[in-house]
Amino acid sequence: MRPFSTCIMLFASLAISGQTTVSNQNRTSDSVDAPNKQAIYAVRIARPNIQLTGSRLARVEIWIEPTGTGVGEELVGNAKRITPAGNHEKWIFPISSFPGYPHPIMAVNAFAKAYDRRGREIGRKSLPFNGVSEFNSALYGRAVQ
């Protein structure tokens, strides 16, 4: 009976140490992949542009949410990367490229969509404003008439 219980203990010990090794391998793998992660971090107004930060993005589109019932989102244009590609990218889109500039923009908000090099959407970030007045005040720095 003793050899059998010794075999069970040995097997259990090997299984536990094997799980620890796999867990450590996964942890190492995750930390290696983290710097290569594609992400959109933030979008903000930095006059005269809308500025976006992210990592390893292939394309960034700027969209608006027009006012009105049943009106869908509208593509305004593509942002331009102004820093080297990598983990700390900065993209800009000129506010003057919005439809109707310099007059009030009839939209409740704007947001950015980011894509990877295969054309897959990897994320969206909205400006922190909601409503036509608040959105236009943020864009122009004053109440727009």
Q: At 45, which CATH number? A: 2.60.40
Number of domains in the chain: 2
Query: 79 lies in a domain?
Result: yes
Helices (H), 68-143: 132-140
Query: 145 lies in a domain?
Result: no
Query: 136 lies in a domain?
Result: yes
| Domain around 57 | 39-140
Closest CA to 123 of 113, 137, 136: 113
24 and 51 belong to one structural domain: no
pTM of the model: 0.72
- Return d(Cα 58, Cα 77) in angstroms, integer: 14
22 and 44 belong to one structural domain: no
The radius of gyration computed from the CA coordinates of the chain, to the nearest angstrom, equals 25
Query: 107 lies in a domain?
Result: yes
* Per-residue tens of pLDDT for the chain, all 145 residues: 565 555 455 555 544 544 444 434 443 333 344 557 899 999 999 999 999 999 999 999 999 999 887 788 999 999 999 999 999 999 999 999 998 888 888 899 999 999 999 999 999 999 998 889 998 888 888 766 6
